[in-house]
Structure 1
């Protein structure tokens, strides 16, 4: 949850002694394991924050949340018994299209970009990953690279999200400089 709310320098650190303080004002929907219907019912009863969920009597929580009530209330108090397995951050996923000669027609790079995004989304789903940042690099005829990165509102492995969602967004994302020699990679990093 803290990683979704970056602090200074893009990193949010919550000390163990500050966990309950950090969780208390967060919306009930942000609590890990709370389904939408449960959040609606909790809000109807006046429980709007994770801190308020921690204070609900256990019998009431059981009636509203069912079997996972105890677990959800523990998490609301900052107690999470799940095992954390340390590991490396996943490598960036990259896809690439090369053209054998300079491309003057904008349709060919646009078609290639659409195919790259489709390939990228499929690769991310195969690896059970999602992209938070998408970077497109175009190598110009003079061998200079032009890069543009875009941070997505939420991590995704869906083509429409990676491309920009709406049709106007897609068209904007696919406009390419006229003399692109190569389209060089459309990459993503999990962020």
Structure 2
């Protein structure tokens, strides 16, 4: 294919996302759990939900939610301990199904991946048919449901896969991306967390249409190096290719608080869910980290980062919390009130261990 023809080719991207993956595996393997609200995790006082079935989600139970909060929302919630070795085995089965259609597979975690099927091994003309063939095969092999988003770039495919969940698919065809994004709440954008959405809301940006109206120079002034990325997303543009064997450099989470904080007790309470979120994300991706970083943003928007490394990969959530706490003790009480805290795990390496302390989700 000539260079000009390749440049004009519209990519066919599929985002496949398993429906309530961990909880669905548990319900598949234990018929007594089917149709009941299930949480994967530990129901201990300071435990955290790693995943929730759709029955549990109907009560407001979500992943990374403290177990005590989840039980308050759903008194009949059934906790089952995570079995990551099983989830990884099922994920490998799903990956083999993907590979029947394309070698351009970019896993995001055990339960979701991007696929570029512009040129696919089965020579299926329509990406929608590829997606539904894959979904049917996943159901046949694993007994599990999945959802798919089909579009011409990664961002839109990701947004589409969640648009008709569970057990369904949605297509955003060429020429329709900007219109779809225009009606999308900014907090629904993939990659927009609480801190970014709160910042955008302050500037009157609440939907994709609002974002598309913002001039580039204004975005550069307030979002710096991310300005070009946001300018494109507001128009449904995403030029990132599907990258097999993508190496993840870090896993992070942060939160901007409704009111500034000044005490270490407040900081410990507010970093706990951030640690939970990061630790669960690492376990899902079978990654262990050696370095933790604490991000502190003050009320005047000045920010600092402080890092600490372990001799080897951290083996438990408790180990990670100890390092974060050591960094907090050094910085609190702060010289000025704090409006945001962030936690990052880096120096990542894939782990083969299956020990419970490696995937610990409770203190």
Task: Give the TM-score range, shorter chain.
Answer: 0.3 to 0.5
Greater RCO (Cα-Cα under 8 Å, separation 6 or more)? 1
TM-score, normalised to structure 2, is: 0.26
**Which structure has the larger Rg over C-alpha atoms?**
1
TM-score, normalised to structure 1, is: 0.46
